[in-house]
Amino acid sequence: MPLLETEAAKKIMEEVIDSDQKKADSLDKEISETIMAKAAKAVGSIRMDAFDIRFNPDCYCSTVRHAESEDITKQRRLVAEAAEFLVVQQLPNFVRDCLQRTVMPLDGASLIDSLHSRGINIRYLGKLTKYIENVGQLTYLKVICITELLCRCAKHIFRGYLQPVTSAHTAAAVSHFLNCLLSPSTEPLTSSNEEISMPINSVRKSRSSKRRKQINSGGKENDDWAQMSSHRLWERVKSDADFYYAFTIDEENVDAYLSTVGIQKTSFLRRFVQIVGIQMLLRDYNLEAGKKSQLFVEDDIQSLYCQAKHVDPKAVDAHSLFLSGQTKVQQGQLRAGFDLVLESLNLMNSVYGAVHSDMAQCMRLLARLSYILGDPSEALSQQHKATLMSERCNGLDSANTIIEYLNLAHFSFANLHIAAALKLLYRARYLLLLIHGIF
């Protein structure tokens, strides 16, 4: 009997302890949920059990009508806090990364990609330019920022400038806009102004004269674009830079400003036609011509193509494997990182197909790891495939392609292909001078 009583008492005590433990766990869970709910509410999360923060980009827009149930004050506070975080934290961190050469943009496209990857909007381009204005080591970045800023201001004007133009006058309007943008002395096209740019041959001269007659007899529909001048366009660019980017320009014309900052016209023209989607005739353009000669004629404009904003879809599993491989490499586990990146490449090949820009990144990392692991021939093979893929996916003059050329030159030299390495370095140097100018 005493044994049975002891076992019964033991069971009762265990039940009491379990009951107390469940009550304590339930109380802890309630406390945790309460704390989580308060924290989520404090940061503006739309869920009370997790941090799910959504920003309303239209909360400060006066032309958008909001529902009465929306808390506009709270939404505006969230947007203001996010903007403060970008200005106080993200922009200085980006400048520090550029100083440490962790990030090294080569042109406007690579700069925009670097900013977007850190959550920085392009509207802060003016503030970024002011941050690096007096930093001698980042003079190249200042040139890239100002080039991108000017091109985007010109794009805003070009969009409204081209809308009322008929298809018969599109080439003439685009060439006139480019003349106004890159020359400080372009005047409006009027019936008395016959100084149209000299054609290259007699056929182009005949076409230009016919089009000139259409311009002069086109009536009111041509007045909007034909009345544009260099001075008027530059004033609008200055106003646009101040309005959109809080960036002040004091120079009186485009030539004075480009020479002050150190921007070459070739880089400026290249970036602008990329942004707005202009395909131009392949020839040597004399962008430093005198005041009386026009830089562009209508036959230089081959076509216009659509520029659509989009986000490239990612192969999620392959991208996760690639990031895991990078993490392993940073931890010093080179062989494990190599295997993960190789598996990521195989998965990308199954999802994307044979050619994709993400696959070029994988091959670039595989080439570096192969070189470090003592296999320069395999490194050269992987880097050669990465370079070919970057040329086809990113373009012949892309910043990524230039980096691929430099890596390929390095691995070619490691395999004693000296002449090929020199040619690749010369090619990379030529493209750098083309897209940026003298550093």
The 10s digit of each residue's pLDDT in 129-152 is 999 988 889 999 999 999 999 999
Longest dimension (CA), the chain: 124
Tokens of 263: 């921007």
Tokens of 246: 């809080």
Give the DSSP H or E segment for 302.
strand 301-304
At 25 the pLDDT is 59
Q: Which listed CATH number (1.10.3720.10, 1.25.40.10, 1.20.140.160, 3.40.50.1100) goes with 316-435? A: 1.25.40.10
Tokens of 56: 């309303």
Q: What is the CA radius of gyration of the chain?
A: 30
At 364 the pLDDT is 95
At 366 the pLDDT is 95
Most confident of 41-55, 297-311, 371-385: 371-385
Residues 389, 345 contacting (CB under 8 angstroms) = no
Give the DSSP H or E segment for 278.
strand 278-280
The 10s digit of each residue's pLDDT in 399-420 is 999 999 999 999 999 999 999 9
Sorted by where each begins, the domain ranges of the chain are 72-135, 150-304, 316-435
At 77 the pLDDT is 83
Give the list of residues 6+ apart from residue 358 with CB closer than 8 angstroms, or none. Answer: 314, 315, 318, 319, 322, 348, 352
% pLDDT > 70, the chain: 80
At 232 the pLDDT is 92
For the chain, count helices (H), then strands (E).
18, 2
pLDDT band for position 287 (50/70/90)?
confident
Give the list of residues 6+ apart from residue 353 with CB closer than 8 angstroms, or none. Answer: none
Residues 226, 175 contacting (CB under 8 angstroms) = no
At 217 the pLDDT is 47
Lowest pLDDT segment from 117-126, 376-385, 406-415: 117-126
**pLDDT at residue 1 is higher than 50:** no
Give the list of residues 6+ apart from residue 372 with CB closer than 8 angstroms, or none. Answer: 334
Does residue 247 or residue 64 have the better pLDDT?
Answer: 247
Give the list of residues 6+ apart from residue 264 with CB closer than 8 angstroms, or none. Answer: 258, 436, 437, 438
Give the mean model confidence (pLDDT) for residues 335-346. Answer: 94
The pTM is what?
0.80
Lowest pLDDT segment from 79-88, 113-122, 206-215: 206-215
% pLDDT > 90, the chain: 51
DSSP letter string over 346-375?
HHHHHHT-S--HHHHHHHHHHHHHHHHTT-
At 203 the pLDDT is 39
How crowded is residue 169: how many other Cβ atoms within 10 Å of its Cβ?
Answer: 20
Residue 277, amino acid: G
At 195 the pLDDT is 40
Lowest pLDDT segment from 164-173, 215-224, 303-312, 321-330: 215-224
Q: How far apart are CA 401 and CA 107, in angstroms?
A: 12
